[in-house]
């Protein structure tokens, strides 16, 4: 596990820097011809970015940006093919507030708890829980990029797609459908975020493996929910499922990290 001191952020300065950087990025993004988010999505992403920088500093922000950029790129893979099949993301892939928080709420909660523990000033609690919550933070985003890349690559390039509960062939884009190409892409997506998390010092090398396990299990659970419940419950939208998916990924990362601490 990494040391809790790595995540020590001067609170007032962190929020100020987060506000300046995200305002500058928002101004640039607003003028770009290719929109990654809707206008409301940009404003919510600004709030999320300030929150993450204020709580976790540049390390947490780098991991979040890696997810956002990689996830946006994955959404555009095979765009023409997905549009022709009627399974492309709406709004030409531009994400709204519901997508921002469906993907990142679990990570934001982890970041907020880390900042709260830092403010409490209890070294024993901080040393135990902050590394675990950092692992949970990375695991949630690793899970989400795994889900995004698996879905987008599977829809665009999956040669054969199967319903996860029955293994019967189904059309690409069916809720709960999986493919070999999508599954491998999902693993690679989780690897990308785990490596970024390790590279910036949020998780240890051992934590990379824990992130991958958490992401794979959580993404599998998400596919099972899609195949069994999502079409039956009207309130179980894609955004709600995304929130559940990333929450499961974060919790699994934390629990795996806790088990590793106890066994170590």
Distance, C-alpha 136 to centroid of its chain = 11
pLDDT at 20 over 90: yes
> Of the given ranges (89-93, 163-167, 184-188, 255-259), which has the lowest mean pLDDT?
89-93
Domain total for the chain?
1
> Of the given ranges (5-14, 186-195, 207-216), which has the lowest mean pLDDT?
5-14
Distance (Å, rounded) from C-alpha 85 to C-alpha 81?
A: 6
Distance (Å, rounded) from C-alpha 70 to C-alpha 76?
A: 10
Q: What would the mean pLDDT of 88-113 be, rounded to a whole number?
A: 84
Give the residue, 263 or 198, on which the prediction is more confident: 198
**DSSP string for residues in 189-256:** HHHHHHHHHHHTTSS-HHHHHHHHHHHHHHHHHHHHHHHHTTTT-TT--HHHHHHHHHHHHHHHHHHH
pLDDT at 180 over 70: yes
Q: What angle do CA 1, 4, 14 make, to 5 degrees?
A: 130
- Provide the pLDDT for residue 43: 94
Distance (Å, rounded) from C-alpha 61 to C-alpha 41?
A: 17
Q: Residue 60: which domain range? A: 4-263
Distance (Å, rounded) from C-alpha 111 to C-alpha 2?
A: 15
Going by the DSSP 8-state scheme, the letter that residue 149 receives in this structure is: H
- Provide the pLDDT for residue 54: 94
Q: Are 82 and 154 in contact (CB under 8 A)?
A: no
List the beta bridge partners of residue 169: 162
Strands (E), the chain: 161-163, 177-179
The b-or-e profile of 192-205 (16+ CB within 10 A means b, else e) is bbbbbbbebebbbe
Identify the CA nearest to 106 among candidates 152, 52, 42: 52
Q: What angle do CA 173, 174, 175 make, to 5 degrees?
A: 110
Q: What would the mean pLDDT of 61-84 be, rounded to a whole number?
A: 84
pTM, two decimals, is: 0.92
């Amino acid at each position: 596990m990494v040391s809790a001191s790595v995540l020590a952020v001067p609170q007032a300065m962190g929020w100020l820097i987060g506000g300046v950087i995200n305002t500058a990025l928002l101004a640039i993004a607003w003028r770009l011809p290719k929109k990654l988010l809707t206008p409301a999505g940009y404003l919510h992403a600004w709030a999320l970015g300030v929150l993450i920088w204020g709580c976790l500093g540049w390390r947490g922000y780098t991991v979040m940006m890696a997810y956002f950029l990689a996830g946006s790129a994955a959404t555009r893979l095979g765009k023409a093919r997905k549009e022709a099949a009627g399974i492309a993301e709406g709004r030409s892939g531009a994400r709204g507030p519901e997508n921002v928080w469906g993907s990142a709420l679990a990570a934001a909660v982890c970041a907020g708890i880390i900042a709260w523990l830092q403010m409490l000033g209890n070294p024993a609690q901080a040393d135990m829980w902050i590394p675990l919550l950092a692992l949970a933070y990375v695991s949630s985003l690793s899970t989400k990029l795994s889900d995004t890349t698996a879905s987008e690559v599977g829809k665009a390039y999956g040669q054969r797609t199967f319903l996860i509960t029955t293994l019967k062939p189904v059309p690409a884009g069916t809720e709960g459908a999986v493919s070999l190409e999508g599954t491998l892409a999902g693993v690679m997506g989780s690897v990308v975020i785990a490596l970024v998390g390790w590279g910036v010092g949020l998780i240890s090398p051992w934590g990379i493996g824990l992130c991958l396990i958490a992401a794979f299990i959580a993404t599998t659970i998400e596919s099972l929910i899609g195949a069994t419940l999502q079409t039956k419950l009207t309130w179980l939208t894609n955004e709600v499922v995304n929130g559940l998916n990333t929450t499961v990924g974060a919790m699994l990362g934390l629990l795996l990290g806790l088990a590793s601490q106890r066994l170590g």
